[in-house]
Structure 1
Amino acid sequence: MKIPFRFIASRVVFYLFTAWAAITINFFLPRMMKGDPVTAYMQKQAGRITPEAEHALRILFGLDKDKSLGQQYLEYWQLLLNGDLGRSFSNGLAPVGDVIASALPWTLGLVGIATVVSFTLGTATGAIIGWRRGSRADVIVPITTFFSTVPYFWLGLIAIAVFSSILGWFPASHAYGKGSSPEFTLDFIGQVVAHGALPAITIVVASLGGWILGMRNMMLTVLDEDYITVAQAKGLPNGRVLWRYAARNAMLPQLSSFALSIGFIVGGTIVMEMVFSYPGVGKMLLDATTAKDYPLMQGLFLIITMAVLCANIIADIAYAILDPRTRQTEA
């Protein structure tokens, strides 16, 4: 199997342009807002910042009024290429990259695993339900769809009330026990698993219905295709027809949705992290917005945007591998 050069080149050009546009918007957006990070920081300090310190802060954050917007833009790119995302006002002027890095593993571990489990379980279940259309398995669709329509914060609060307060099976909040510090030990890993189980299960239950319904509907469309009839007429085993022919083609639209879900994993689930007081990127973004910490907001928006782009690149490659028509059309 060969993927045409024109297909690869067109994708590379498109995503490079998209990345440039996202970074450029990320540069201009704070400068279009009322005020700026340095002014907001000075207001919090209540006059304790001298004019010399203010000038130094403006240079540090690339907001030097003595330089033109074009010069600031070039310096912004230079800082990005050196991996410098600025300093966070709400975290004692700590590097934004370090602040994000402290929250990113929690979000990737929790939301990432829950998303992959939900997609895999939902796609496989939807394929089986679609294959056995008209059977008792169809009852799964309205049940899971109902849970998907329940507002997430209600689902989270109900889960905490039932499984934490009444049954006492899971901790109600935080990523690990109070008084503990992150360390690579079996006890700490056990705490992380116990604290992450309930929010992870809640995410899976809330998103499962969409994957099941989407895959089932695509399976119903694919099963009417001629190649499925031919495969069955040849006497191929039902399992092979289901997974090698029907499900493989039916899941193609699922990949696009999964790519977006994977990309937004980095952004976390803000409502979930608020309900469970989980120290992820979503809660950090909310805290940064509340504190008007523009550098941290910029860094988070940039990381989320790049994650979505990378996820879409992976989806395009997978799409081209699974469906030759895609790369032929692009070529």
Structure 2
Amino acid sequence: MKIPVRFIASRTAFYLFTAFAAITINFFLPRMMAGDPVTAYMQRNAGQITPEAERSLRILFGLDENTSVWDQYTSYWGLLFSGDLGRSFSNGLAPVGEVISSALPWTLGLVGIATIVSFLLGTATGALIGWRRGSKADVIVPISTFFSTVPYFWLGLIAIAVFSSTLGWFPASHAYDKGASPELTADFIGQVIAHGALPAITIVIASLGGWILGMRNMMLTVLDEDYITVAQAKGMPNRRVLWNYAARNAMLPQLSSFALSIGFIVGGTIVMEMVFSYPGIGKLLLDATNAKDYPLMQGVFLIITMAVLCANILADVAYAILDPRTRQTEA
């Protein structure tokens, strides 16, 4: 398989421009909000900050009134290229990279695994239901769609009430037991799995319907194509026709949705992390927004943006591999 150079060049240029635009918006967006982190900090510590200390803080956070917005913007790019995301105002001036790295593994581990499981299970189930259209398996579609329409906030609270408060099967909140310290031991890993099971299950249930419905509808369209009829007329086994021909082509639109889902895994599910008090990126972003912590907000937005772009690049590569028409069109 040969991917045309023009295809690679066009996609590279597109994503470079998108990254530039996203980083630029990332710089200006927090500054369009009312207030700033220094003012918020001074309000919480009235009378404890001297004018000299205030000016030092504004210079540290790139908010010096004597510095133009353009100079702040170019300085921001310089810090990015040096790998410096700044210091978090709401975390004792800790480096933003360290603050994000402490929350990112929790989100990737929980939301990432749940999203991948939901995609694989939903896509496979949708393919089978579409293949056996008109059978009793069709009842799965409205049931799964119903759970997808329930607000996640309510679904999470119901799960806590039933499986945690009533049955006591799972912990209701946090990523591990109170008083425990993160360490690579069997006991701690067991705690993480126990605390993450309930939110992971609710994420899978809430998102499963969309994957099933999308794949099932695409299967119904693909099964009417001539190449499916020809493959069956040649006497190919139904399993091979299902997975190698029908499902392979039907899942192409799913890849775009999955790429976006993978990208937003980094952003976490804010509502989920609020309901279950889970220490992930979503809750970190919410706390940073409430504290008007510009550097932390920009750092989280940057990580989310880069994750979405990387996920879309992988989706484009997958499209080019699975569907030659994509390469030919771009070329």
Contact 2:3 2:320 (8 Å CA) reproduced: yes
- 1:65 shift after superposition: 2.7
What pairs with 1:1-331 in structure 2 (closer than 5 Å)?
Answer: 1-331=1-331
- 1:72 shift after superposition: 1.5
- CA RMSD after TM alignment: 1.1
Q: How many percent of aligned residue pairs carry the same amino acid? A: 87
Q: Which runs of 4+ in 1 moved over 6 A?
A: none
Contact 2:320 2:327 (8 Å CA) reproduced: yes
Contact 1:223 1:246 (8 Å CA) reproduced: yes
Contact 2:35 2:292 (8 Å CA) reproduced: no
Contact 2:40 2:291 (8 Å CA) reproduced: no
The DSSP-based 3-state class of the residue aligned with 2:300 is helix
* Number of equivalent positions: 331
State the alpha-carbon separation in 2 of the partners of residues 36 and 237 from structure 1: 65
State the alpha-carbon separation in 1 of the partners of residues 67 and 85 from structure 2: 19
Mean CA deviation greater in 108-117 or 133-142:
133-142
5+ residue gaps in structure 1? none
- 1:259 shift after superposition: 0.3
Contact 1:170 1:195 (8 Å CA) reproduced: yes
Contact 2:129 2:216 (8 Å CA) reproduced: yes
Rate the CA distance shift 1:166–1:31 in 2: closer, same or farther, 3 A. Answer: closer
Q: Deviations along 1:18-71, whole A, 9 cap, x unmatched?
A: 100111111122233333222222222213222222222222222233332222
State the alpha-carbon separation in 1 of the partners of residues 284 and 107 from structure 2: 10
Q: Deviations along 1:71-98, whole A, 9 cap, x unmatched?
A: 2211111111111111112111111111
User: Amino acid of the residue matched to residue 271 of structure 1?
Assistant: V
5+ residue gaps in structure 2? none
TM-score when scaled to structure 1?
0.97
- 1:115 shift after superposition: 0.1
TM-score when scaled to structure 2?
0.97
Contact 1:175 1:279 (8 Å CA) reproduced: yes
State the alpha-carbon separation in 1 of the partners of residues 76 and 287 from structure 2: 24
Contact 1:152 1:271 (8 Å CA) reproduced: yes
Contact 1:37 1:295 (8 Å CA) reproduced: no
User: Amino acid of the residue matched to residue 194 of structure 2?
Assistant: A
User: Amino acid of the residue matched to residue 113 of structure 1?
Assistant: I
